[in-house]
């Protein structure tokens, strides 16, 4: 039997290798020159803020004038018109050429203001970090809000934007409007398409490179996902073999996490597919938030929630996320229950998904492989103990009406 299995494995690998050209689209994306790779952009918040400042500033030398800032404000206003009902039309048609754009003004990532239009736009940019507290305030967002409200109290409109890769909800959803990098890409692509014929070649290259790196490193690239899924479906056995017999790169935390989740899956405690790496589900939560018939959830799967881990080589943190696409009314009520019991701030109708539980980073520095696995298993088992309470609290909230 072992020899027969080995023979099947070898044949799967041979078939994959004879079709190696199927990897060309991925290779082309990976090897394509991008100016921002030279500067080590990846997920560096400060560097992204520099580029966004340049693009938003109508006085800069990109040749776009006020197109980007006008498109951004138009997008924000159109996404949530109820916030701006008193000046809706003015904001959509105003001339934005007099805006000033500042970076790190009173530690605010990006601050946009127009005295003529009596408007400010405050942008807090978060990629791999989260809100933190500030002396005398519950969060840095509260500090920035208080400063702007006081300093620019005579301005008619003050817009507050919380920019993250996945459109995370800010701590103060009443004052701050969430925006995702996917929406930034959408805004930039629209402006670029409208203006590319008159831009200088080097400016066109820079803007296209920036859109490409956002798609590659910050937001979900649907075309790349399609290519990878197609290759995986065609050569699943060979790719699973390669994956299972590799060391999965240089991230020891990811290796330990996969080992722990596979172990717990074999014990029937979690639902886990090794190709998902950092994502898992449980029989208990899946019983409460049932799977969809078709893979049309917020993540393109049948699951309406995800348990997943953010990982770095020496630390790990847990996230519980719920998705609003494709769900029925009963599931929607349960999700509203989670939002109100775990994170008592209302979701917006435009939200694709929402984080309702996030742990602090767990430090794994100086642990050997066995100790690292033990720490991660302990973290997962703590989550398994807590999820019953989360569900009970949710059910009690629903019962109270």
pLDDT band per the 50, 70, 90 thresholds, residue 342: confident
pLDDT tens digits along 119-166: 999 999 987 666 666 656 667 899 999 999 999 999 999 999 999 887
Q: What is the pLDDT of residue 332?
A: 92
Q: What is the pLDDT of residue 129?
A: 66
φ/ψ of residue 19, rounded to 5: -110, 30
Share of residues in the chain with pLDDT > 90 (%): 40
Q: What is the pLDDT of residue 391?
A: 95
222-234 vs 236-244: helix crossing angle, rounded to 10: 100
Higher pLDDT among residues 351 and 321, named by residue? 321
- DSSP letters, 128-171, are S-----BTTBSSHHHHHHHHHHHHTTT-SEEEEEEEETT-PPPS
CA atoms of 396 and 399, how far apart (whole Å): 5
So where are the chain's domains?
38-217, 247-399
CA atoms of 108 and 5, how far apart (whole Å): 59
φ/ψ of residue 122, rounded to 5: -105, 125
| pLDDT of 349 strictly over 60 | no
Q: What is the pLDDT of residue 113?
A: 95
CA distances to 19, 97, 110, 154, 302 from 118, rounded to whole Å, are 61, 13, 17, 8, 47
Cα Rg of the chain, angstroms:
24
Across 379-391, average pLDDT: 94
pLDDT tens digits along 238-272: 676 665 555 444 478 888 898 899 999 999 999 99
pLDDT band per the 50, 70, 90 thresholds, residue 26: low
Q: Which of 336, 308, 353 is nearest to 393 (CA)?
A: 336
Across 101-108, average pLDDT: 90
Total residue count of the chain as it appears in this document? 401
CB-based burial label for 125 (10 Å; 0-12, 13-18, 19+): buried
Q: What is the pLDDT of residue 273?
A: 85
Record the tokens describing residue 285, joined without a space: 């939560």
pLDDT tens digits along 65-98: 999 999 999 999 988 888 888 888 888 999 999 9
SS3 247: coil
Q: What is the pLDDT of residue 128?
A: 65
CA atoms of 310 and 278, how far apart (whole Å): 7
H helices of 235-351, in order, are 236-244, 252-266, 283-288, 329-342
pLDDT tens digits along 42-59: 666 788 888 899 999 999
Q: What is the pLDDT of residue 29?
A: 60
- pTM for the whole thing? 0.56
pLDDT tens digits along 174-223: 899 999 888 898 899 999 989 888 888 888 888 888 888 888 777 755 55
Higher pLDDT among residues 133 and 273, named by residue? 273
Rounded to the nearest 10°, the torsion over CA 58, 60, 61, 62 is -60
pLDDT tens digits along 277-311: 789 999 999 999 999 998 888 888 899 999 999 88
Q: What is the pLDDT of residue 158?
A: 94
Q: What is the pLDDT of residue 350?
A: 45
Longest dimension (CA), the chain: 80
Across 366-391, average pLDDT: 93
Q: Which of 25, 26, 48 is nearest to 36 (CA)?
A: 48
Q: Which of 28, 82, 51 is nearest to 346 (CA)?
A: 82
| pLDDT of 1 strictly over 60 | no
| pLDDT of 23 strictly over 80 | no
Q: Which of 361, 358, 353, 357 is nearest to 182 (CA)?
A: 353
Q: What is the pLDDT of residue 39?
A: 61
pLDDT band per the 50, 70, 90 thresholds, residue 2: very low
H helices of 19-115, in order, are 24-31, 35-38, 45-56, 67-79, 88-93
Share of residues in the chain with pLDDT > 70 (%): 80
Q: What is the pLDDT of residue 4?
A: 47
């Amino acid at each position: 039997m072992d020899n027969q299995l080995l023979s099947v494995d070898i044949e799967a690998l041979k078939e994959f290798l004879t079709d190696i050209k199927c990897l060309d689209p991925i290779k082309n994306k990976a090897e394509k020159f991008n100016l921002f790779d030279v500067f080590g952009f990846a997920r560096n918040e400060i560097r992204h803020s520099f580029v966004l400042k340049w693009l938003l500033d109508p006085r800069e030398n990109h040749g776009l004038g006020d197109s980007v800032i006008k498109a951004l404000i138009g997008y924000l206003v159109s996404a949530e018109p109820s916030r701006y009902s008193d000046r809706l039309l003015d904001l959509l048609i105003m001339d934005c050429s007099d805006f000033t754009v500042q970076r790190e003004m009173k530690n605010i990532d990006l601050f946009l203001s127009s005295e003529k239009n009596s408007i400010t736009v405050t942008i807090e940019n978060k990629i791999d970090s989260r809100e933190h507290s500030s002396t005398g305030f519950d969060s840095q967002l509260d500090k920035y809000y208080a400063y702007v409200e006081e300093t620019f109290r005579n301005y008619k409109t003050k817009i507050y934007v919380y920019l993250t890769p996945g459109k995370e909800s800010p701590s103060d959803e009443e004052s701050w409007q969430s925006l995702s990098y996917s929406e930034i890409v959408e805004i930039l692509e629209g402006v670029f398409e409208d203006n590319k014929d008159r831009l200088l070649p080097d400016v066109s290259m820079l803007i296209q490179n920036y859109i490409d790196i956002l798609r590659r490193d910050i937001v979900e690239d649907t075309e790349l996902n399609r290519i990878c899924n197609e290759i995986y479906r065609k050569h699943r056995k060979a790719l699973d073999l390669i994956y299972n017999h590799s060391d999965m790169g240089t991230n020891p935390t990811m290796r330990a996490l996969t080992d722990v989740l596979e172990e717990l899956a074999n014990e029937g405690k979690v639902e886990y597919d090794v190709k998902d790496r950092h994502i898992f589900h449980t029989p208990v939560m899946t019983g409460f938030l049932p799977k969809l018939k078709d893979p049309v959830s917020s993540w393109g799967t049948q699951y309406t929630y995800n348990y997943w881990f953010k990982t770095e080589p020496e630390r790990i943190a847990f996230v519980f996320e719920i998705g609003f696409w494709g769900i029925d009314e009963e599931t929607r009520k349960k999700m509203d229950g989670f939002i109100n019991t775990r994170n008592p701030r209302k979701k917006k109708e435009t939200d694709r998904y929402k984080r309702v539980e996030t742990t602090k980073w767990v430090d794994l520095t100086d642990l050997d492989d066995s100790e690292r696995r033990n720490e991660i298993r302990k973290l997962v088992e703590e989550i398994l103990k807590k999820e019953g309470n989360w569900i009970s609290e949710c059910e009690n909230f629903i019962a109270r009406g």
